[in-house]
Amino acid sequence: MKISVETCRRRIARAILWLYRGRTCEEPAVSIAEVLEDPRKILIIPDLRAGGLFLGAPKFRAIRSRYPRAEISLLTDARREYIAREMPFIDDVILCGDFLLPVGMKLRDLIGRLQRREFDVTFCFGAPDGLLPAYLCYKSGGKLRVGFHADDVPFFNFRIVPRPEPCYEAERLSLLLRTLDIAEGELGWAISPEGAGKILDRYLGERRDTERLVGIDTSSGIGPPLSFRQWRGVVRAVDENCRAILFFDFDQRRVANRLKETLGARALLFQTDDLPRTVALMEACEGFVAGNTDLFHLSVAMGLPTVGIVPEQDAPRWAPADCPWVRVVTRTGMGEGMGRRIVEMLHEMQNSALQRR
């Protein structure tokens, strides 16, 4: 029986977290009120999985608003650097590798770089069952380390216990702000009309004002990606009068290229490594279809009619409940005819949006 890297990672994380349960570490006493009064240097560690930056961005900006004089650094992996660099409320981006185990020279080098920064506060938005964000928070050297965990572990000296029942991830992240009495606001994702026009002219040409566009994101995300056959069922169901923009990342380039061959001239390939271009092309779409990827969460934040394809047990965690522009399809339901149903869902949401206007 084959075990996926993701399954292996979860098992290792559970084992290591279990070993840390009940441990204490010798460190100087910290006055939480004093540290939070006016911190000079802040480190933010997001959930390092797909969607973590887009779900966390409103929280990061709220921290900036609360501490306007602080130097705020954001830790992320290299694949999402193009997202992090576009956040104006972040002063510095620190890159980390995708470590399967908390060992090795590269990890020690990263920890050394973090500790030399002498952070006053480290905010960890990682999931309670996630090892790497919590471990990096622990080793960051932050005087105050804030994060989520149900058990008594030494990673944080300000530990927030999440609610036991499943909830939307954005709500879990908001709990950190509410606990620290940090006001949260809205955050939009858009670029100037002039900038968007130049991007659309480049990629769509003269047809950009007359074409109907549907976005389909085949990128890798949380859990195994959909197969070519499953995506083919979706792209074949797209209305013949529409053109599909196939968003993809490096790992899924082969699937995207095969889908391009299926649709021919009705498909446009776009590799997601530039956030302003991605946002401009998504804004031009009538609807968006994605797995549990970064762009799924961006599409939700942008208010696009969105269909997400997620594992059944994860739907409450990754999709907002009762959101009029979001529908969820479970992976187990991706059988014959589901592609047509997904496109019908997009049409239903588009019609509802027109009626609300």
Residue 317 has pLDDT above 90, yes or no: no
| Confidence band for 350, pLDDT divided at 50, 70 and 90 | confident
Query: Using H for helix, E for strand and C for coil, what is the string for 100-111?
Result: CCCCCHHHHHHH
CATH topology of domain 5-179: Rossmann fold (3.40.50)
> What does the pLDDT look like over 185-218, one tens digit per residue?
889 898 999 999 999 999 987 666 667 899 999 9
> What does the pLDDT look like over 9-65, one tens digit per residue?
566 556 555 555 555 556 777 788 899 999 999 999 999 989 999 999 999 999 999
Percent with pLDDT over 70 in the chain: 86
Residue 269 has pLDDT above 50, yes or no: yes
Q: Tell me which amino acid residue 271 is.
A: Q
Q: For the chain, which residues make up each domain, given as ranges?
A: 5-179, 193-356
Which has the higher per-residue pLDDT, 263 or 275? Answer: 275
> What does the pLDDT look like over 17-33, one tens digit per residue?
555 555 555 677 778 88
pLDDT reported for residue 356: 52
Percent with pLDDT over 90 in the chain: 53
Mean per-residue pLDDT, 137-148: 93
Q: Decide if 5-179 and 193-356 have a common fold.
A: yes
- Record the pTM: 0.89
- Residue 183 Rama label (left phi>0; alpha psi -120 to 50; beta): beta
Class of the domain covering 193-356: alpha beta
Which has the higher per-residue pLDDT, 261 or 337? Answer: 261
Mean per-residue pLDDT, 108-121: 95
Q: State the distance between the two ends of the chain, measured CA to CA, in whole angstroms.
A: 53
φ, ψ of residue 227 in degrees (nearest 5): -80, 165
* Alpha-carbon gap, residue 24 to 11, rounded angstroms: 23
Mean per-residue pLDDT, 273-302: 95
pLDDT reported for residue 1: 42
* Alpha-carbon gap, residue 159 to 176, rounded angstroms: 10
Cβ within 8 Å of residue 223, ≥6 positions away: 6, 291, 292, 310, 311, 314, 331
Q: Tell me which amino acid residue 143 is.
A: K
User: What is the DSSP annotation of 239-251?
Assistant: -TTEEEEEEE-GG
Average pLDDT, the chain: 86
CA 73 to each of CA 44, 88, 94: distance values in angstroms, whole numbers, following the listed order: 6, 12, 7
| Confidence band for 136, pLDDT divided at 50, 70 and 90 | very high
Q: Tell me which amino acid residue 93 is.
A: V
Task: Spell out the long-range contacts of 193-200 with Cβ–Cβ below 8 A and sequence spacing 24 or more.
Answer: 195/276, 195/280, 196/279, 196/280, 196/283, 196/284, 199/276, 199/277, 199/280, 199/281, 200/280, 200/281, 200/284
Residue 94 has pLDDT above 60, yes or no: yes
